[in-house]
Amino acid sequence: MKVTIAQINTTNGDLAGNTAKIIAAIEKARSDGSDLVVFPEVVTHGYTSQDWFQDHDIIEHALDPLEQIVPTTIGIAAVVGTIRPNADPDGRRLYNVAAVISDGRLLGFAEKTLLPEYDVFDDPRYFEPSEHRRIFEINGIKLGVVVCEDFWNDKTFWKERLYESDPTDEVIAMGADVIVSINASPYNKGKIKLRCDMVAHRAKLQKKPIVFVNLIGGNDGIIFDGASVIADEEGDIILQATAFEEFVETVELDVRKPDARGITGNEIESIRQALVLGIRDYARKNGFAKCVLGLSGGIDSTLVAALAAEAIGSENLLCVMMPSPFSSEGSIKDSDELVRNLGCQSRIEPISDTFEVLLRQMDLHKPTKGGESLAAENMQSRLRGVILMAISNAEGRLLLSTGNKSELAVGYCTLYGDTNGGLAVLGDVLKTEVWQIARHINASAGREIIPHKIIDKPPSAELAPNQFDQDSLPPYELMDPVLKMYFEQKASPAEIIEAGNDAELVYSTLNKVENPANEFKRQQLPPTLIISKNAIGVGRRRPITHKYRRNRPA
């Protein structure tokens, strides 16, 4: 059997555009002589459509895309992720399904059973689970078709499981010759290799070929990396889709030729690609051809500029330098060097005169050291926010926010200042990771794109004389391991301390993270590009108003 992976980038709610892409992929698969083409989960409507799945018109017309797709499958079979209405008056109004189509006929649906509601997932809010199973026969080959989470519960692979049942085991027991798994599995660190290991393990154990197709594209903060795989019955990966790109290619299931092109051992490179895709798709899908950001001469805004230049083209990026009385001469020079290296547009909009006027009007003292006059310090950041938003409005540019996860986690940011923007590019990237990505960009290019002077300089907000981040925060090299374990592993203070972190640092850091004032700031952030589990953003839910505080045991 010849099988085509159709890893396509769809947009929530763009039924016409998504359907056209599906039909184009079917036509390519047919021209390749494919027997079967497989698409990702809910590819017709967009998996992250959220409460649109509760909209009456969406439910009533749920099957409309299939009416256009089915007639295009003459001479080929297709598995298409979509939705279908629940005719039973009880339960959620939709099923999340794989439509199985062959030679112009809809053979039926494989409904999703296991509905995730952790991290960024909220399937039970929209979909009704189904225990119904069936096998689909294509050219004499029996397909066991499962939808995303229904493949992710293998008791021989996972040490801990979220569900008792395993729909994939059930279709194998029913006699499936080939397993087809359609997915919308978001990117996070380590996920690409994990999926490959999971697919290869099950294929080898069950002696069944597995076709695992994953969604590609940025959808608000959630980034799908694709990296779809096909494994033969020996567990060898015989087709590996390129990560972070659309991919429509065909392979013979018994080809016996390992293919590892989409697997990267460099996690920093994967993060870079994810962020570039996230910026590009957020801008493109929301109608922005151009972006703007504030360039301070620090590493965070510098990295965002480099990523944005790659995502949308340097000619479409405007970097705005907004020096205050406390901006160092080096910051402007370093920013100018970066702009030359990237080839993007730039301009200078000084804020010193406006700052002086507002100081007098508000009867505030100009800061003489960090923290002495927070209102005056923050006023500078907010003035910059006003300028950037004005440019965004006047020129139709998407404003990119540049704060990193370490700062946002502990509240080292200014609400309505540096938190302004349409997209938080580094909101899930720790400061130490920011430095790693910057060095990686230079190493990959074989030249200095990001000036070493920017990478090596001590971090500073430059809102007061001789101000450095380390005056207010622990060194990032010490704080980031605490934040990483807390967010990504949901580790307890005791576990973080056991890993070798200082107890006082752990408790002080976590209490800053959980401070209501800092949660208040985070909940007003722009959409944040997510590259880790349990990230700041849609997958992390905390109340603003609370009295909880972590007390260190005596």
- pLDDT grade for 466, boundaries at 50, 70 and 90: confident
Q: What is the pLDDT of residue 137?
A: 96
pLDDT band at 382 (very low <50, low <70, confident <90, very high): very high
User: Residues 4-45: pLDDT tens digits?
Assistant: 999 999 999 999 999 999 999 999 999 999 999 999 999 999
Give per-residue pLDDT as tens, 286-297: 999 999 999 999
Q: Which residue of the set 21, 41, 189, 208 is catalytic?
A: 41
Q: Give one DSSP letter per residue of 341-375, joined into a string.
A: HHT-EEEE---HHHHHHHHHHHT-PPPSSTTS-HH
* Beta-strand relationship, 210-214 and 229-231: antiparallel
User: Which residues of the chain does CATH 3.60.110.10 include?
Assistant: 2-265
In the chain, what is the greatest distance between 2 CA atoms, to the nearest angstrom? Answer: 83
pLDDT of residue 463: 84
Report d(CA 332, CA 454) in Å as an integer: 11
For the segment 81-86, the average pLDDT, to the nearest whole number, is 97
What count of other Cβ atoms lies within 10 Å of the Cβ of residue 103?
Answer: 13
Report the C-alpha gap between 39 and 23 in whole angstroms: 11
The alpha carbon torsion through 521, 527, 528, 531 (nearest 10 deg) reads 140
Pick the catalytic residue: 21, 111, 112, 290? Answer: 112
462 catalytic per annotation: no
**Could you tell me how far CA 422 lies from the centroid of its own chain?**
15
For residue 168, the model assigns a pLDDT of: 98
Q: Residue 112 catalytic?
A: yes
Q: How far apart are CA 51 and CA 505, in angstroms?
A: 41
Structure tokens at 394: 């006047």
Average pLDDT over residues 168-176: 97
Least confident of 140-149, 222-231, 302-311, 325-334: 325-334
Rounded to whole angstroms, how far apart are CA atoms 421 and 279?
A: 13
User: pTM of the predicted model, to two decimals?
Assistant: 0.95
The CATH architecture assigned to 271-471+516-522 reads 3-Layer(aba) Sandwich (3.40)
Identify the active-site residue in 21, 111, 128, 148. Answer: 148
Stated as kind and residue range, the H or E segment containing 311 is helix 299-312
Residue 271, pLDDT above cutoff 80: yes
58 vs 546: CA distance, rounded Å: 38
Measure Cα distances from 77 to 36, 103, 166, 181, 249 in Å.
5, 6, 26, 15, 15
41 is catalytic: yes
Nearest to 190 by CA among 228, 225, 154, 150: 225
Computed over every residue of the chain, the mean pLDDT equals: 94
pLDDT in tens, 249-270: 999 988 767 776 656 568 999 9
Calpha distance 131→110 (Å, rounded): 10
- Cα–Cα distance for residue pair 300/428, rounded to 1 Å: 12
Task: Give the integer Cα–Cα distance in Å for 237 and 203.
Answer: 10
By C-alpha distance, which of 312, 532, 544 is closest to 426? 532
> Which residues does residue 243 pair with via DSSP β-bridges, in sequence order?
226
Residue 476, pLDDT > 90, answer: yes
What's the pLDDT tens digit per position in 91-109?
999 999 999 999 999 999 9
Q: State the Cα–Cα distance between residues 39 and 52, nearest whole angstrom.
A: 21
DSSP 69-88: HGGGGTTSEEEEEEEEE--S
Tokens at residue 110, please?
């494989």
* pLDDT exceeds cutoff 80 at 88: yes
Mean pLDDT of 166-170: 97
For residue 14, what are its two tokens?
């763009």
496-552 tens-digit pLDDT: 999 999 999 999 999 999 999 999 999 999 999 999 998 988 888 889 999 988 888
Is pLDDT above 80 for 431?
yes
pLDDT band, very low/low/confident/very high, at 465 (cuts 50, 70, 90): confident
Tell me which amino acid residue 251 is. V
DSSP string, 251-299: EETT------TT--S-HHHHHHHHHHHHHHHHHHHTT-S-EEEE--SSH
Q: What does the pLDDT average to over 306-330?
A: 94
CATH superfamily of 2-265: Carbon-nitrogen hydrolase (3.60.110.10)
**For residues 91, 164, 144 and 54, what is the CA-based torsion angle, rounded to 10 degrees?**
20
With a CB cutoff of 8 Å and minimum separation 6, the contacts of 441 are 272, 303, 306, 449, 450
Kindly state the helix (H) or strand (E) to which residue 239 belongs, with its residue range: strand 237-240
Q: Is residue 301 within 8 Å of residue 413, measured between CB atoms?
A: no
Beta bridge partners of 101: 78, 106
Q: Are 527 and 423 in contact (CB under 8 A)?
A: yes
Strand, helix or coil for residue 44: coil
Among residues 328, 500, 511, which one has the least CA distance to residue 410?
Answer: 511
Give the alpha-carbon dihedral of 153, 155, 157, 158, to 10 degrees: 70
In this prediction, what percent of the chain has a pLDDT beyond 90? 88
Residues of the chain with CATH 3.40.50.620: 271-471+516-522
Do the Cβ atoms of 8 and 19 come closer than 8 Å?
no
Whether the pLDDT of residue 309 is over 70: the answer is yes
Which residue reads 């039973």 in tokens? 88
